[in-house]
Amino acid sequence: MKKFTIMLNSPEDAQEFVNAASRCDYDIDLESGAVAIDAKSLLGVITMGTKRIMRVVCHEADPTFIQTVNKFAVSAY
């Protein structure tokens, strides 16, 4: 399992993040406070909001996904 934090600054960033997550065949969650959503859900990610720090929880470590969304990372665990 891999955990890291990201910040999505716009709806376009959210779309790019969801597209990258959707290409993975394992579960990816996005957490903010006590709320956790499926990172493959565009509606969920947009509802979570932009310009806030969120934690990504990858249930498998896929280097391609990590590399794709690394530009949104604000710090790693």
Phi, psi of 20 (to 5 degrees): -65, -45
Quick: pLDDT tens for 25-65.
Answer: 999 999 999 999 999 999 999 999 889 999 999 988 788 99
CA angle 39, 40, 42 (to 5 degrees): 95
The ranges assigned to domains in the chain are: 2-76
Measured distance CA(50)–CA(62) in Å, rounded: 24
pTM equals: 0.89
Q: What is the homologous superfamily of the domain 2-76 according to CATH?
A: HPr-like (3.30.1340.10)
Q: How many CB atoms lie within 10 A of CB 52?
A: 12
9, 17, 25, 54, 72 from 12: Cα distances, Å: 8, 9, 22, 16, 12
The answer to whether residue 12 scores a pLDDT higher than 70 is yes
